[in-house]
Structure formats: structure tokens, C-alpha cells
Amino acid sequence: MDPDLSQLDSLLAETGADAYCIDADSADSNQLYLSGFDAPDPFFTAYTGDSLAVLVSGLEYGRASKESRADTVARLAEYDHYERVDEYGEAEGTARTYATFLADLDAESVLVPDRFPVGVADGLRDRGVDVGVDHDDVVEMVRATKTPEEVDHVKRAQDANEAAMGAAEELIRAADVDADGTLVVEGDPLTSERVQEEIEVTLLRHGCSLDETIVACGADAADPHDRGSGPLSANETIIIDIFPRGKASKYHADMTRTFVKGEASEEVRRRFEVTHRALEAAFDALEPGATGADVHDAVCDLYEEEGYETLRSDSTTETGFIHSTGHGVGLDVHEAPGLNPRGGELKPGHVVTIEPGLYDPEVGGVRIEDIAVVTEDGYENFTDYPVELELE
């Protein structure tokens, strides 16, 4: 894929910087996107507007030459890097190597992202390179708008996600309930961990990997970042939030459903119904030209009307709607744009989740999350999974 780097070109032109530089491994999605190179150890990328150059170890040279988007692939050894490190130590040696590399690109002043390593920045400055910080993270801004190919990557990850959610739902449906109200499968308690394993195996079988899955029941579900553990109980909310990554494409999907095995309480049913309406309210507000803040406000309006607290009505509340409405999804599972109080203008090609939820340790947690792409005239919700609370 050839990204549209015109925003980055404009930034270089406006600031007069000679190059935009990243020093990171490809777990940093800006590095992966800009360089097009997937590598486990940090490497240095410099984009001058005219050309893209990467500086890698000898071990990565062959792959970088074949796989990266760079016009120039250089090896650390060509720059006498190891001799410099022996003479000046790792930090100063590296700075000297990078400064020489930049001099070869005629780059005397560079821009770097906010999270560029300070040790390298200080070292470059000591060697006379003017290092400015791009606080607005232009590469993440570029990444926010997806090409049709990128949208397709997310859709394929979402297909796998739906298969995994189906496997999890099936496990819970098939479980029996013992006298204590614990879910039981073949005589053993059905645990969060067992359901997570089923989800993760299903994702692997569908070409996706993932680091974490949330299967959180009861009080665990009342903490939006609790991943859940231990036996699952009947008649309590079980939040399942799955955010796989396509192993080949590296793009994520993200979806949440809330289930109750057996019977939900009156209050849980009400929260689920209000949250479902909050999801619809957010989608009603989702269109190009609206802001992420508009979408978030639509959800807060509804929750507050229905008598629930939000971080907008009380910034210190620990119950109610205590997170943002959604986020961009792509190489990172959380990326721009944000659907939150500071969310900016939405544009066609933005891929976002909508995930309203209500939390209270006394009641449990309820969250419903779909994923969609903003289009020229609205949005396309490409989540194909029922929204249903109670499972037999």
C-alpha cells in the first residue's frame, strides 16, 4: 500500500524541517506505516518528502531491501556504527551514526514525533541537528484516513472477530448452571480463561492473533479494563470484548457484546436497552463534518436524560458511563480519531468503534460495541452480529 503522505509533506514545508524521523521497532504503528517494514528491533527511518530512507542492522538488511517502502536501505555497518559504539558507548555512538546518516540526506533539521526517544533526540542535538517535536503526531493523523484496501483489512479482521464471538457465545449457551449459579461445562466450571482460550484459538484458526481478550463477569465487568478471571455466573452480566489483529495485514477489528446466561435483573435489562439506544444515537450523529465530540455528546445526552452519570456530568464518577464513546481502529486498536470530548472533525475513510457502556460494581457492566467506516454521506456499520442480552 502506498500511503498518501501529503499532510506530512505540508508539515515539512510549513516548518522548514528537512526530514521527519522515527526511531522505533514496528510495534510502533507510525514506524510500520511510514517505513512499510515489520521488524522486532528499533530502526531509524527518515522521510525527506522526496525520499524515504531506513537504517537497519545487517541482520535486517535483506528483508528491509525486499519488504520496506524505503527508496534507500542502509546498514549500520556502512556507517561504522559498531566502531562508534565501541569508542563512544551505545548512546553517543548511535547519535553519531544517525547524525552522519542524516548529513548524507542533507537533513540539518528534523521533526520527530512526541514519543521519539529523548536519548537519541538529545544526542542528535548535541551533534548540531535541529530536532523539533511534532506534538500533533502527523503520521497518526495520516493513518486515521484509511484507503479502501485498509478498510478491507479491518473488515477481514472483523469477520474473524464475529466467528470468535460466536464460539464464545456458543460455549456460554451450552453451559449448564449448577446449584451455586456457576456455569459448568462437562463437570468443570466455565471460566473467563476458558472462554478467552476458545476465542483466541478461533481467531488463530481465522488468521488473526491477539494479546488480550476481555471476558469479564459480574463485578469484574464493572471495570472496563478488567480482563476477567475465574468461573462465570448465571444471571450476571458477562462482557466480551474482542480486538484481534490480522496476522498478515496487521490491521485490527474491535467488537463488544454483553450477555447474561439465564435471567437479567430489571436494572440490567434497562441499562442494556438504554445502551443499545445510546449506540443508535451515536450512529445517528456519525457523519463526515461532525466531530468526535458531537458523537460523544449524543451518547452523554441520552445517558444523562435516562438518569445515569457520565464523566461529562461528573468528571470523578466511578460508575455510569466512564469512558469515551469510541476510537479509531487500524494498525493500532486505539488510534485517531477519538470519539471523546476533544474529538475533532470526522472524515470519509475514518474507521471507528462506537462503544457506549454503563458500569456499577453493584449491578455489573453493560457495553455494546460496533465498528464502522465513515463514508461520504454517513457511515457503513460493517458489524454483523446480533445485539442480544439473555442467552438460554
| CA-CA-CA-CA torsion sign (377, 141, 384, 293) | negative
Closest CB 316 distance from a copy of itself, rounded Å? 6
Closest CB 177 distance from a copy of itself, rounded Å? 26
Nearer to a copy of itself, 117 or 166 (CB): 117
Question: Measured at the alpha carbon of residue 27, what is the angle toward residues 243 and 245, in degrees to the nearest 5?
Answer: 25
Question: CA–CA distance from 330 to each of 67, 251, 257, 350 (Å)?
Answer: 20, 5, 20, 9
d(CA 326, CA 348): 16
Nearer to a copy of itself, 119 or 378 (CB): 119
**Set of cell numbers at residue 353:** 468503534
Closest CB 262 distance from a copy of itself, rounded Å? 27
**Based on the number of CB atoms within 10 Å of its own CB, is 118 exposed (0-12), middle (13-18) or buried (19 or more)?**
exposed
Nearer to a copy of itself, 119 or 288 (CB): 119
Closest CB 301 distance from a copy of itself, rounded Å? 19
Closest CB 344 distance from a copy of itself, rounded Å? 12
Nearer to a copy of itself, 56 or 151 (CB): 56
The answer to whether 341 touches 312, Cβ cutoff 8 Å, is yes
183-185 and 176-177 strand pairing: antiparallel
Nearer to a copy of itself, 219 or 391 (CB): 219
Nearest residue to 373 via CA among 149, 210, 160, 171 = 149
Nearer to a copy of itself, 82 or 283 (CB): 82
Three-state SS for 275?
A: helix
Three-state SS for 231?
A: strand
Nearer to a copy of itself, 246 or 379 (CB): 246
Show the 3-state SS of 208-230.
Answer: EECCCEEEEEHHHHHCCCCCCCC
Closest CB 267 distance from a copy of itself, rounded Å? 21
Dihedral of CA atoms 195, 271, 372, 347 in degrees, nearest 10, equals -140
Closest CB 379 distance from a copy of itself, rounded Å? 26
Dihedral of CA atoms 195, 198, 203, 204 in degrees, nearest 10, equals 140
The H or E element containing residue 254 is: none
Nearer to a copy of itself, 10 or 229 (CB): 229
Closest CB 299 distance from a copy of itself, rounded Å? 16
Length of the chain: 392
Nearer to a copy of itself, 153 or 194 (CB): 194
Does 341 sit behind a cis peptide bond, omega within 30 degrees of 0 on the bond before it?
no
Summarize as ranges the residues that interact with a copy of itself (CB under 8 A).
Answer: 27, 39-41, 58-63, 75, 77, 82, 85-86, 89-92, 112-122, 131, 133, 135, 197, 200-201, 204-205, 209-212, 223-226, 311, 315-316, 318, 322-323, 334, 341-342
**Set of cell numbers at residue 279:** 449506540
Closest CB 60 distance from a copy of itself, rounded Å? 6
